[in-house]
Amino acid sequence: MLARTPLLVLLILFLSATAVLAQGGIEETVKEIAESLNCPLCQGLTLYDCPLTICEQMRGVIREKLVAGESRETIVQYFVEQYGEEVLNAPPKSGFNLAAWILPFVGLLFGGAFLAIVVASWLRPRSSHPAREMPAPPEGRDPYLDRVERELEEL
Amino acid sequence: MAAAEATFPITRRRIGLTLILAALGLLFLLLLYALGTRVPGSLEGRPAPDFTLALFDGREISLSDLRGQVVVVNFWASWCSPCRKEAPLLEEAWRSYGDRGVVFLGVDYVDTESEARAYLRQFGITYPNGPDRGSLIGRAFGITGVPETFFIDPQGKVAFAFPIPIDRASLTAALEELLA
């Protein structure tokens, strides 16, 4: 009986360590999921950062569901069903929300095209746009330049 | 060569115009979308938005099925302190006015199920209650927080809207006026 005691202690220690490690893993996943979701009541805060009671409750739900063996996708889907798509930190890639993914690239494309046109117009020799050329200086002396020179001399 | 030079500025202008028109069109579409999803103003005097509430006890209730009755829709949440203050009052009113054909519906807004059920047990709430899945009902009623209470007349119109915690006097006065 006495010989078995160290083995028993070792077994208990091993099981405790496994439980602690598993808990740490779960907490890390809770953090990851909570960071991918928004607080349903405030603007710009994730479920992980928000100090509101509801967010604390929601983090508790994530923990419970992970312990119950639910997958990350199922948990996120549950929150979308409960609180709407706004709870997602990134909009889903479907329906109108697809615009949020496509529009930045469309913007880049349009911006790039606009820049290309502007740069092309800068690089084009001015002679191809006679209408835009500066008017030729009038013949003879410029009265304005004369006045500047006179005033400089007076100084 | 001269012909190509003459047409180039026109093509360039056309591209520029197309880009501007496309950007304006996009802005217009976004504006339409924003207007379509904007929060409605006060609902008083307007038809109440219809909804189906999946109750905590597994049943379902649609507001349209309650036409002909006075309906009190109360938005609440377990984390909301003012809701906790008005909860006993609402239950008491339900027990007094239920016999006179008034239906009370509790809509649990942005909450977690176990805490919501604990809240209902704590205050002994017996009228139908269910979660506002996806916050759709709250959005349709244009609520800005909890608690908010809406009194719907037998014709389905919102007679009174209380975007604030309700007190006994206001609750009784609204119900008596609707039952008169």
* Residues of chain B contacting A82 with CB distance shorter than 8 Å: 131, 133-134
Question: Alpha helix locations (H) across A68-131?
Answer: 72-83, 98-123
Q: What is the DSSP letter of A127?
A: G
Query: Can you tell me the distance from the alpha carbon of B41 to that of A24, in angstroms, rounded to the nearest whole number?
Result: 47
* Residues of chain B contacting A96 with CB distance shorter than 8 Å: 33
Q: What is the pLDDT of residue B91?
A: 98
> Rounded mean pLDDT of A36-52?
95
Q: Is the pLDDT of residue A26 over 80?
A: yes
Q: What is the pLDDT of residue B14?
A: 80
Residue B170: partners with Cβ closer than 8 Å, 6 or more residues away: B162
Which of the pair, B174 or A3, is modelled with greater confidence? B174
Look over chain A and give the mean of its residue pLDDT values, rounded to a whole number: 83
Cα of A142 vs its chain's centroid, Å: 59
CB contact A105 to B (< 8 Å): no
Reported residue count of chain A is: 155
Cis ω on the peptide bond leading into residue A91 (within 30° of 0)?
A: no
Percentage of chain A modeled with pLDDT above 90: 42
Question: How far, CA to CA in Å, does A133 sit from each of A101, A106, A125, A136, A142?
Answer: 44, 35, 11, 8, 19
Highest mean pLDDT among A86-100, A133-147, B161-175: B161-175
Residue B75, beta-bridge partner list: B107, B148
Residues of B with CB under 8 A from a CB of A: 5, 9, 12, 15-16, 19, 22-23, 26, 33, 77-79, 110-112, 114-115, 131, 133-136
- Band of pLDDT at residue A90, cut at 50, 70 and 90: confident
Query: Can you tell me the distance from the alpha carbon of B143 to that of B149, in angstroms, rounded to the nearest whole number?
Result: 9
Does the interface predicted TM-score (ipTM) exceed 0.95?
no
Q: What is the pLDDT of residue B2?
A: 47
Residue B70: partners with Cβ closer than 8 Å, 6 or more residues away: B97, B101, B102, B103, B151, B152, B153, B154, B175, B178, B179
CB contact A49 to B (< 8 Å): no
Query: Taking the model in full, what pTM does it have?
Result: 0.68
Q: Is the pLDDT of residue A131 over 60?
A: no
> Rounded mean pLDDT of A61-85?
96
Cβ-contact B71, B103 below 8 angstroms: yes
pLDDT tens across the length of chain B (180 residues): 444 444 555 676 788 788 889 989 988 888 887 766 555 568 999 999 999 999 999 999 999 999 999 999 999 999 999 999 999 999 999 999 999 999 999 999 999 999 999 999 999 999 999 999 999 999 999 999 999 999 999 999 999 999 999 999 999 999 999 999
Which of the pair, A112 or A22, is modelled with greater confidence? A112
Please indicate whether, in this complex, the C-beta atoms of B112 and A54 are within 8 angstroms of each other.
Answer: yes
Burial A119-143 (b: 16+ CB within 10 A, else e): eeeeeeeeeeeeeeeeeeeeeeeee
> Rounded mean pLDDT of A101-109?
85
Of B5, B16, B133, the CB nearest to A117: B16
Cβ-contact B133, B119 below 8 angstroms: no
Cβ-contact A71, B93 below 8 angstroms: no
Q: What is the pLDDT of residue A16?
A: 61
Q: What is the pLDDT of residue A3?
A: 62
